[in-house]
């Protein structure tokens, strides 16, 4: 249809009302062909917010505009650019860049120091890992575009297990039991929170609160701005490895094989989720989707319906050959990393079939179908996958020996 639309000279003579009606029925590809046939129709499509409506229909009415698309106010450009990288996610097109490889960067060939945490935001990436052996433990800040480290933050007295950052600060948690605040621009540590009596395994913060989970079987809630301790949550019978919160609810995952749901304001446990046969190592709760995903050392991922009081398991993803240590999902895909040296990526519910993706080391990436629970493809790494994080068109994967960025906005044929 696109070719006939673009070649039809009579389109330019249509009354505006007819053209507006036609544009409402066209998909993105044919709409682009339609407005490309006439400067008049392109202007009218802007005036009628046709592309903004098309963006909302394709990516969700409340979908946030990614940072790298906020520089332009053109909804045509926003739609086409986002469609490009979403299509690349689905068709295995990406440009991989290995940030470092063990023995050629910080580490000596005989040292095994896993990347324990990685976070992306815009062109900035923050990683946590011990660099030079047993006595120096750091957080590193990276410029993703230039593929260079811009700062190294020293101060923890043990391996750094978790990090998160925003435009102003980085917060990190460590085996030294402490939580530290750092200036993103200067790398200066300006606050240390003490209270946990064992390793800090996970943390999460927003503008109001900071939640930290520990091997001491507790979750501590702090005021994120001041660092004031607000409450301590107890109830798990094992180390708490992961947490997430949204809409007043906090969800924690533990070595006791359960996930617990807490009311943040009251500090009360309002639900317990069981079904895994081993420790829950990673989880994510999405309030907009009413969905909780948990990853476990029992080699599977489970999806739970948070709309119901019983929070039933609605899907089990199996296929990893080892414990699953990290996961992340959005409305379009689910990614999981395992000690079997693979990352598995999940396509949207309507997707189907298997596909393979090659990495610089001739590895394979596994993609899951949210609807069927089937693995659609596999991305093998050179060692156990310790962490991953994706934002928009970029995916960062940290292992025991490498840190790699996959850019789905640009790709090379491998």
pLDDT, tens digit, 9 for 90 and up, residues 76-106: 777 777 777 666 665 555 555 555 544 433 3
Both tokens of residue 309?
């009081």
Domain end residue (candidates: 37, 56, 91): 91
Q: How far apart (Å, rounded) are the C-alpha atoms in residues 19 and 224?
A: 52
Q: Please tell me the predicted confidence (pLDDT) of residue 297.
A: 97
Q: Which two tokens stand for residue 358?
A: 């090659």
- 65 found inside a domain: yes
Same domain, 83 and 123: no
What average pLDDT does the segment 279-297 reach? 94
Mean pLDDT of the region 105-127: 64
Closest C-alpha among 163, 147, 113, 125 to residue 396: 125
pLDDT, position 71: 64
Q: Are residues 389 and 243 in the same domain?
A: yes
Can you give the pLDDT at residue 56? 75
User: Does 220 score more than 60 pLDDT?
Assistant: yes
Task: Please state, in angstroms and rounded to a whole number, the distance separating the CA atoms of residues 306 and 304.
Answer: 6
Q: Is the pLDDT of residue 30 over 80?
A: no
pLDDT value at residue 39: 75
Work out the pLDDT band at 13, boundaries 50, 70, 90: low
- Domain match, 71 and 218 both: no
Dist CA 295 CA 315 (whole Å)? 12
**Residues 284 and 196 occupy one common structural domain:** yes
234/321 same-domain check? yes
The domain total for the chain is 2
Shared domain for 141 and 183, answered yes or no, is yes
- Cα angle: 249, vertex 199, 135; to 5 degrees: 140
Q: Give 340-368 pLDDT, tens digit per residue.
A: 888 887 653 333 322 323 233 334 344 45
Quick one: 148 and 224 in the same domain?
Answer: yes
Beta bridge partners of 243: 252
- 267 domain residue, yes or no: yes
The alpha carbon dihedral of 201, 204, 205, 210 has a sign of negative
pLDDT, mean of residues 156-181: 95
Same domain, 203 and 86: no
Integer Cα distance of 363 and 383 in angstroms: 11
pLDDT at position 350 is 30
Where does a domain end: 59, 91, 123? 91
Predicted confidence (pLDDT) at residue 119 exceeds the cutoff of 80: yes
> Mean pLDDT throughout 316-333?
87
Do the beta carbons of residue 252 and residue 213 sit within 8 Å? yes
Q: What is the CATH number of the domain that holds 385?
A: 2.130.10.10
Residue 78 maps to a domain: yes
User: Are the beta carbons of 313 and 348 closer than 8 angstroms?
Assistant: no
Task: Return the pLDDT at 313.
Answer: 93
Among 11-25, 92-106, 275-289, which stretch is predicted with the lowest mean pLDDT? 92-106
Quick check: is 360 in a domain? no
> Tell me, what's the pLDDT at 358?
26
How would you classify the pairing of strands 218-223 and 229-234?
antiparallel
Band of residue 165 on the pLDDT scale cut at 50, 70, 90: very high
Residue 413, domain member (yes or no): no
User: What is the Cα 276 distance to its own chain's centre?
Assistant: 23
* Spatial distance between the Cα atoms of 264 and 293, rounded to a whole number of angstroms: 20
Q: What is the pLDDT of residue 319?
A: 80
User: Of the given ranges (2-16, 191-205, 296-310, 318-332), which has the lowest mean pLDDT?
Assistant: 2-16
> Is the confidence at residue 171, as pLDDT, over 80?
yes
User: Is 187 domain-assigned?
Assistant: yes
Predicted confidence (pLDDT) at residue 139 exceeds the cutoff of 70: yes
What average pLDDT does range 197-202 have in this prediction? 97
Which range among 65-69, 147-151, 236-240 has the greatest average pLDDT?
Answer: 236-240
| In a shared domain, residues 299 and 228 | yes
The residue ranking higher by pLDDT, 182 or 407, is 182
* Of 352 and 29, the one with more pLDDT: 29
Both 23 and 117 in one domain: the answer is: no
What residues make up the domain containing 50?
13-91
Residue 130 falls inside a structural domain: yes
Domain boundary residue, one of 22, 56, 91? 91
Is it the case that residue 11 has pLDDT exceeding 70?
Answer: no
- Asked if the model's pLDDT at residue 174 lies above 70, the reply is yes
Q: How many of the other CB atoms lie within 10 Å of CB of 76?
A: 21
Same domain, 163 and 39: no
Is the pTM higher than 0.85?
A: no
With respect to residue 361, please indicate whether it lies within any of the assigned structural domains: no
Averaged pLDDT score across all residues of the chain: 78
User: Residue 413: what pLDDT?
Assistant: 40
Q: Is pLDDT of 162 > 80? A: yes
């Amino acid at each position: 249809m696109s070719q006939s639309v673009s070649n039809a000279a009579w389109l330019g003579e249509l009354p505006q009302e007819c053209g507006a009606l036609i544009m409402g029925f066209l998909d993105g590809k044919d709409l682009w062909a339609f407005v490309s046939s006439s400067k008049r129709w392109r202007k009218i499509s802007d005036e009628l917010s046709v592309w903004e409506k098309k963006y909302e229909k394709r990516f969700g009415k409340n979908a946030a505009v990614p940072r790298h698309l906020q520089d332009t106010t053109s909804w045509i450009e926003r739609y086409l650019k986002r469609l490009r990288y979403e299509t690349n996610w689905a068709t295995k097109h990406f440009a991989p860049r290995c940030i470092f490889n063990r023995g050629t960067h910080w580490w000596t060939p005989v040292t095994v120091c896993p990347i324990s945490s990685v976070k992306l935001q815009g062109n900035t990436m923050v990683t946590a890992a011990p660099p030079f052996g047993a006595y120096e433990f750091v957080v590193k800040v990276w410029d993703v575009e230039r593929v260079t480290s811009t700062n190294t933050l020293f101060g923890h007295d043990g391996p750094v297990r978790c990090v998160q950052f925003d435009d102003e600060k980085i917060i990190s948690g460590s085996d030294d039991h402490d939580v530290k605040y750092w200036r993103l621009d200067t790398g200066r540590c300006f606050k240390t929170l003490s209270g946990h009596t064992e390793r800090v395994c996970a943390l999460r913060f927003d503008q109001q609160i900071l939640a930290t989970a520990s091997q001491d079987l507790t979750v501590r809630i702090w005021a994120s701005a001041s660092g004031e301790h607000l409450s301590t949550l107890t109830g798990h019978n094992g180390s708490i490895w992961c947490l997430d919160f949204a809409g007043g609810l906090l969800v924690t995952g533990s070595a006791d094989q359960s996930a617990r749901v807490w009311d943040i304001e009251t500090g009360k446990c309002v639900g317990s989720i069981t079904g895994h046969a081993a420790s829950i190592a990673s989880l994510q709760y999405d309030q907009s989707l009413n969905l909780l995903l948990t990853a476990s050392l029992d080699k599977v991922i489970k999806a739970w319906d948070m709309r119901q009081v019983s929070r039933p398991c609605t899907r089990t993803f199996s296929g990893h050959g080892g414990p699953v240590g990290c996961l992340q999902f959005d409305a379009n895909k689910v990614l999981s990393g395992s000690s079997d040296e693979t990352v598995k990526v999940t396509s949207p519910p309507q997707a189907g079939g298997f596909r393979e993706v090659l990495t610089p080391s001739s590895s394979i990436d596994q993609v899951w179908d949210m609807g069927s629970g089937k693995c659609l493809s596999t991305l093998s790494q050179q060692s156990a996958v310790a962490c991953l994080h994706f934002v928009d068109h970029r995916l960062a994967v940290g292992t025991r020996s490498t840190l790699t960025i996959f850019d789905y906005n640009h790709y090379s044929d491998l």
